[in-house]
Amino acid sequence: MPDRGAYDSETVFKILDEGLICHVGFSVDGQPYVIPTGFARVENTLYIHGSAASRMLRTLAEGVQVCVTVTLLDGLVLARSAFHHSMNYRSVVMLGRATLVSDAAEKIKALEAFTEHIVRGRWNDVRLPTEAELKATTVLALPLAEVSAKIRTGPPKDDAEDYDLPIWAGVVPLTITPAAPIADPRLKVGLETPAYAKKYSR
């Protein structure tokens, strides 16, 4: 549905900055794969990372064509007819070729972005990666050049003759609601839960 499309950076970036999981699609010898993973955006670049032994990251680093998607589910749309049931959502599709991040400064910047994307303010509290950890981690960069968003909002869109049917219709909103943080059982006594964990929100 072309009317749901959006191509401006502001819309795309807002969706990416709220999302937590992306799905990475690629093909190896004719076999398609779609792998869920974390990500972070820094300006016009999307970063993904993982173990240096990851088959997905090794394959993508070779420059194969990749499709990355991010979806936020906002509600269930219950129409009067089964045909018009839908969902309210915001999604982004990115196409391109990822490149290996070999520059040490860019790699650290990307790892900081991953951490801050999960919980803003966390990077300054944690132990920074060691040389061994950096070596064991692969970071890939995907330029946000070929990108589109799709968004559906609002109530059901039924056929005109169905609006008189005695059937409830509407939207069931869905949100991610953080619960109270659960401390690590091995946490040192006296350490307070940081505000960014107690008041977490996307």
pLDDT tens-digit map of 173-185: 999 999 999 999 9
pLDDT at 202: 82
Tell me how far apart the alpha carbons of residues 116 and 21 are, in angstroms, rounded to a whole number: 14
Percentage of the chain beyond pLDDT 70 is: 100
Whether pLDDT at 4 is above 90: no
Whether pLDDT at 53 is above 80: yes
Tell me how far apart the alpha carbons of residues 106 and 177 are, in angstroms, rounded to a whole number: 33
pLDDT at 52: 86
76: nearest Cα among 196, 10, 175: 175
Mean pLDDT value across the chain? 95
pLDDT tens-digit map of 116-173: 999 999 999 999 999 999 999 999 999 999 999 999 999 999 999 999 999 999 999 9
Tell me how far apart the alpha carbons of residues 197 and 182 are, in angstroms, rounded to a whole number: 10
Whether pLDDT at 95 is above 80: yes
3-state class of 35 per DSSP? strand
Whether pLDDT at 1 is above 90: no
Q: 18-32 b/e with 16+ CB inside 10 Å = b? A: ebeebebbbeeeeee
Confidence of residue 3 (pLDDT cuts 50, 70, 90): confident
pTM to 2 decimal places: 0.92
DSSP strand pairing (170-173 vs 40-42): unpaired
Query: Taking the domains of the chain in order of start, what are their residue ranges?
Result: 2-198
Tell me how far apart the alpha carbons of residues 151 and 5 are, in angstroms, rounded to a whole number: 7
pLDDT at 2: 76
- Number of Cβ within a 10 Å radius of residue 117: 20
**Domain 2-198 classification at class level:** mainly beta
pLDDT at 55: 85
pLDDT tens-digit map of 58-70: 999 999 999 999 9
Tell me how far apart the alpha carbons of residues 35 and 54 are, in angstroms, rounded to a whole number: 11
Tell me how far apart the alpha carbons of residues 93 and 105 are, in angstroms, rounded to a whole number: 28
- 199 and 119 Cβ atoms separated by less than 8 Å: no
Cβ-Cβ contacts under 8 Å for 128 (sequence gap 6 or more): 108
Q: What residue type is 3 in one-letter code?
A: D
